[in-house]
Amino acid sequence: MRPNRIKQMWRDGRWVTMGWLSVSHGFTAEVMARQGFDALVVDMQHGTTDMSDLWPMLQAISQTDTVPVVRVPWNDPATILKALDLGAYAIIVPLINTAEDAAKAVAACRYPPVGMRSSGPVRAVHYGGADYVAKANDEIVVMAMVETKEGLANLDAICATPGLDAVYIGPADLSFALGLPPGPDKTDPVHVAACDKIRDTAHTHGIKACMHCASAAFAAGAVKRGFDLIMLTSDLASMIAGVRRQLDELKTLV
């Protein structure tokens, strides 16, 4: 089976860079995948992607060495199964509130006897290799988003879930849980402390901690703070920033 680069990098003690796809288009996915990210997320929760859009985007990403990742819209085994069968090599599951939620997400990503995933990797076997079914349990990465009051209260139990590879911080929803306004790259001491607690708890249980960022400066700080994966930027954010930069520059020149 094709090795999962995310797991390889983590085994080597390296941190992982990840990009984000909010726009559901194969060409956008291909362009983003060619920019040098280690991994690239197709966002089905808040992006414009539906299931019918997913497989062309995964095909586009898999032309490169970038690891295809899918954030599913909910902790739904049917959606997780379909995303994996179409070739996702990592799954991000939002709004994990309890150890039971985490165990459900892990089970959906693992074939029996350790999970409940049904066999039928219609595209994944062509992307991953002929021995995909035999080795997928060891290669697919499962990330649980901890971002609510309940999730924070159950953080230790969530991180102790067998088979869970990482926790992923959603800073906006975590802000809601902490009584703060949502926003990118939060530097409020309460938010920073909560993120550091999530990181430390994950590491205590031998799993990884991932941070969703919106700038290189904040991402660099997250790496220095010990986070194992950083999401740097999205297609939509990059497009908006690039257009605004050109417009602003034009206005200063005429």
d(CA 30, CA 40): 10
CB 91, CB 69: distance < 8 Å: yes
Which helix (DSSP H) or strand (DSSP E) does residue 43 occupy? strand 39-43
* pLDDT < 70 regions, the chain: none
The pLDDT, as a whole number, for residue 24 is: 97
> 186 is written with which tokens?
């939060």
The pLDDT, as a whole number, for residue 23 is: 98
Assigned CATH for 5-253: 3.20.20.60
Would you tell me the crossing angle of helices 99-109 and 77-85 to the nearest 10 degrees? Answer: 30
C-beta neighbour count of 169 within 10 angstroms? 24
> 236 is written with which tokens?
């939509």
d(CA 203, CA 101): 20
Instruction: From 182, 205, 184, 209, select the one nearest 195 (Cα to Cα).
Output: 209
The pLDDT, as a whole number, for residue 70 is: 98
Please identify every residue annotated as catalytic.
46
C-beta neighbour count of 246 within 10 angstroms? 10
The pLDDT, as a whole number, for residue 211 is: 98
CB 188, CB 206: distance < 8 Å: no
> 7 is written with which tokens?
């797991």
d(CA 220, CA 240): 22
Whole-model pTM: value is 0.97
The pLDDT, as a whole number, for residue 45 is: 98
The residues, any chain, with a CB within 8 Å of residue 32's CB and separated by 6 or more, are: 19, 21, 40, 235
Instruction: List, for residues 94-138, the tens digit of each pLDDT value.
Output: 999 999 999 999 999 999 999 999 999 999 999 999 999 999 999
